Amino acid sequence: MCGIIGIASNKSVSTNIINSLKKLEYRGYDSAGLATIYNNEINEKKCSGRVEELEKILFKNPTDGNLGIGHVRWATHGVPNIINAHPHSSDVVSVVHNGIIENSNELKKELESKGLNFKSQTDTEVITILITEALKKMTPLNAVFQTLQKLKGSFALGIIFKSHRDIIIGARRGSPLAVGYSKEENYLGSDSYALKSMTNKISYLDDGDLCILSKDKVEFYDFEQKKINKKVYILSDDKNTAEKGDYKNFMAKEIFEQPTTIKTCVNEYVDNLKKDINIYNFPIEPKKINKIVLVGCGTAYHSCIVAKYWFEEITSLDVEIDIASEFRYRKVKFNINNLYIFVSQSGETADTAAALELCKKNNVKTCSIVNSVESTIARNSDWVLPIHAGPEIGVASTKAFLGQLVVLYILSLKLGKTRNDINQTTYSTSITNLEKLPDSLKECLKTENRIQVMAKEFLDAKGSMFLGRGLSFPIALEGALKLKELSYLHAEGYPAGEMKHGPLALIEEGLPVIVIAPKDKYFEKTISNMQEVIARGGKILFITDHKKELINENIRFGIRVPTIDKLLTPILLTIPIQLLAYHVALLKNCDIDKPRNLAKSVTVE
Ligand code: AGP
């Protein structure tokens, strides 16, 4: 999941390339680089580390030129150093790449056997060498077409040529790529977020598309060299929501704007006057749906687990859930009466997109629940339900998770009502309770000060456990994931009832154990599991909505969230676990918005 930018202009491009790379850093930040065509030469500058390092290099040694490409890297092949940073250039061509060339070793051996040498450990350099060789006999366009035919795996490419200083060629298979249009310049970029500060007119390449871009023209071809046309989208103007304002970092902003984003999301779907949900045009007539299949990765998968409980509780539907990287390789028994739902904040996650592609090949109906309606997953689905959370920049997903949960809950209500699995009273009451969610979330955010103190319990711990039952179990998983990805501390999320089947062996004196136990049908059983932990020295941090004071010298900390419709409680319980992970990471001086080794959009498998 790297970030690509290309600009063809009538003025110098390096400043705009740097600014775009800063916006793309959420896609990868191991290293950065750019190349421009100036004085009929390829001028390449690269660095390991963040874009600001590249900016310092350019400050000392400016690079001019009205055409160029840039790249931020999340390392797949080769360590994140300056040699492996993109662009990869020869004296006639320069290439930036997002994706994985699966036959790169084989191609590299073949080229080396012809006496060609490589500088880097990357798969991308193979592309550079192949095009360089082809350019000896053909035009840039034909050289690229010929090279693409040899590549297996995924790529989004940006390519510039010493001998053709006015064009950039882009090509896409499996990794996202977009084109932006402006009066005196045109752009190539990994996504609209990188381009929207320069234009609101965007086209998206699909797999098998290629573009040739100059400052005043853009042409599109398919890989069979046939000219094609691409739709131009006008982007919504949500520039202000993509800035962090007065917040210390994007994650803080995105945690604290959840009452607002959830209110927006609910209002998009719920008609409070008619007490109805405005979801129609199902791809399968609701009464004919046989089963719901929910698929996602990471946090998005956790929202699928929560939704399984909701669909089972509210509808008569059978529900299956799976992690996308497993689903895409399983021997799935497809059924045309199943509705396959793909949950993805970015809408670009490679495994989720591939799982969706598998469904399309099997002619079954698909729905995507995404934050970006222009994304690959959204554009390839039969039906899209946006979460309206606004751009989420922090790599650790927060407001998007809550948006996914709310849309899944709303969908379960609509299906339950349409299929007569719930009556009007239940339906109307549930809709009314949804209106209370934003204010209840505001109350949850007020637990921050206590959680800040609670966070200290983790600093010297060997690890931690998050436990829950029923709807609280996936929230336990999400809490553990948040703590891992933000603070780099080991954490396990587990069904509380499973502890005695092995994980209890992990419990030792002082180990922090977060018990998530709202006053629901599982409460007493979870308390019993908690006693098992206390008996072995575990330090309990307790999150509940129970009004009763649970005075117990063994509970180190108690955090209480407001009471609300029991089915909505997991949404409230999420706030304390987000804040906990955030504050532990702060105490550990971790990079909150860009945790090590991660990237926001995992566009490689
Ligand atoms: C969430 O905090 C993680 N950054 C990660 O697990 C993420 O949820 C996962 O990569 C899926 O991303 P998507 O929602 O964009 O598909």
272 and 413: one domain?
Answer: yes
Pairing mode, if any, of strands 539-544 and 555-560? parallel
**Would you place residue 576 in the very low, low, confident or very high pLDDT band (cuts 50, 70, 90)?**
very high
Ligand 1: does its nearest atom lie under 6 Å from the Cβ of 398?
A: no
Q: How many contiguous H segments (helices) and E segments (strands) does the chain have?
A: 19, 27
Q: Is residue 172 part of a domain?
A: yes
Sign of CA dihedral 123, 125, 126, 131: positive
Structural domain that includes position 15: 3-234
86 and 190: one domain?
Answer: yes
Which residue type is seen at 543? Answer: I
Centroid of ligand 1 to alpha carbon of 152 (angstroms)? 26
Least trusted range by pLDDT, from 395-409, 506-520, 545-559: 545-559
Q: Is residue 557 part of a domain?
A: yes
- CATH code (residue 300): 3.40.50.10490
257 and 294: one domain?
Answer: yes
Average pLDDT over residues 115-133: 96
Q: Is residue 175 part of a domain?
A: yes
Q: Which residue has the tokens 């948040």?
A: 482
- The secondary structure of 551-579, three-state, reads CCCCEEEEEECCCCCHHHHHHHHHHHHHH
Q: Is residue 441 part of a domain?
A: no
215 as an active site residue: the answer is no
Q: Is residue 492 part of a domain?
A: yes
Ligand 1: does its nearest atom lie under 6 Å from the Cβ of 300?
A: yes
Give the model confidence (pLDDT) of 346-405 as tens digits.
999 999 999 999 999 999 999 999 998 888 999 899 999 999 999 999 999 999 999 999
Whose Cα sits closest to atom 7 in ligand 1? Answer: 298
pLDDT at 36: 98
Burial class (CB in 10 A: 0-12, 13-18, 19+), 247: middle
- CATH code (residue 73): 3.60.20.10
137 and 229: one domain?
Answer: yes
Pairing mode, if any, of strands 491-495 and 185-189? unpaired
Ligand 1: does its nearest atom lie under 6 Å from the Cβ of 298?
A: yes
600 as an active site residue: the answer is yes
Whose Cα sits closest to atom 4 in ligand 1? Answer: 396
246 and 350: one domain?
Answer: yes
**Would you place residue 272 in the very low, low, confident or very high pLDDT band (cuts 50, 70, 90)?**
confident
Give the model confidence (pLDDT) of 463-474 as tens digits.
999 999 999 999
Q: Is residue 513 part of a domain?
A: yes
pLDDT at 77: 76
**According to DSSP H, which parts of 394-522 are helical?**
399-418, 424-435, 437-445, 448-454, 472-487
Give the model confidence (pLDDT) of 58-105 as tens digits.
999 999 999 999 999 887 777 888 899 999 999 999 999 999 999 999
* Mean pLDDT of all residues belonging to the chain: 94
45 and 171: one domain?
Answer: yes
222 and 295: one domain?
Answer: no
Q: What's the domain count of the chain?
A: 3
Which tokens hold the place of 18? 């740097």
Q: From CA 3, how far away is CA 99, in angstroms rounded? A: 10
Ligand 1: does its nearest atom lie under 6 Å from the Cβ of 371?
A: no
Ligand 1: does its nearest atom lie under 6 Å from the Cβ of 394?
A: no
Selected catalytic residue, list 2, 265, 359, 367 = 2
Ligand 1: does its nearest atom lie under 6 Å from the Cβ of 599?
A: no
Average pLDDT over residues 283-297: 97
**Would you place residue 158 in the very low, low, confident or very high pLDDT band (cuts 50, 70, 90)?**
very high
| Among the listed residues 236, 233, 242, the one whose alpha carbon sits nearest the alpha carbon of residue 178 | 233
Ligand 1: does its nearest atom lie under 6 Å from the Cβ of 325?
A: no
Q: Characterize 48-86 residue by residue with b for buried, 16 or more Cβ atoms within 10 angstroms of its Cβ, and e for exposed.
A: bebbeebbebbeeeebebbbbbbbbbbbbbbebbeebbb
pLDDT at 373: 82
Centroid of ligand 1 to alpha carbon of 299 (angstroms)? 5
pLDDT at 227: 96
| Among the listed residues 200, 204, 186, the one whose alpha carbon sits nearest the alpha carbon of residue 235 | 200
Atom of ligand 1 nearest to the CA of 398: 2
Of the two residues 1 and 510, the one the predictor is more confident about is 510
326 and 398: one domain?
Answer: yes
Could you say which of 405, 435, 465 is where a domain stops?
435
Whose Cα sits closest to atom 8 in ligand 1? Answer: 299
Atom of ligand 1 nearest to the CA of 397: 2
pTM here? 0.82
Give the model confidence (pLDDT) of 201-249 as tens digits.
999 999 999 999 999 999 999 999 999 999 998 887 665 556 788 899 9
Centroid of ligand 1 to alpha carbon of 351 (angstroms)? 11
Average pLDDT over residues 477-488: 98
Could you say which of 386, 403, 435 is where a domain stops?
435
pLDDT at 547: 79
Atom of ligand 1 nearest to the CA of 598: 4
Q: Is residue 266 part of a domain?
A: yes
Atom of ligand 1 nearest to the CA of 349: 16
Could you say which of 190, 214, 234 is where a domain stops?
234
CA distances from 511 to 461, 466, 553, 586 (A): 6, 11, 16, 20
467 and 425: one domain?
Answer: no
Average pLDDT over residues 176-189: 95
pLDDT at 238: 60
249 and 119: one domain?
Answer: no
Q: Is residue 440 part of a domain?
A: no
210 and 113: one domain?
Answer: yes
pLDDT at 19: 92
Instruction: Tell me what percent of the residues of the chain surpass a pLDDT of 70.
Output: 98
244 and 228: one domain?
Answer: no
Of the two residues 341 and 557, the one the predictor is more confident about is 341
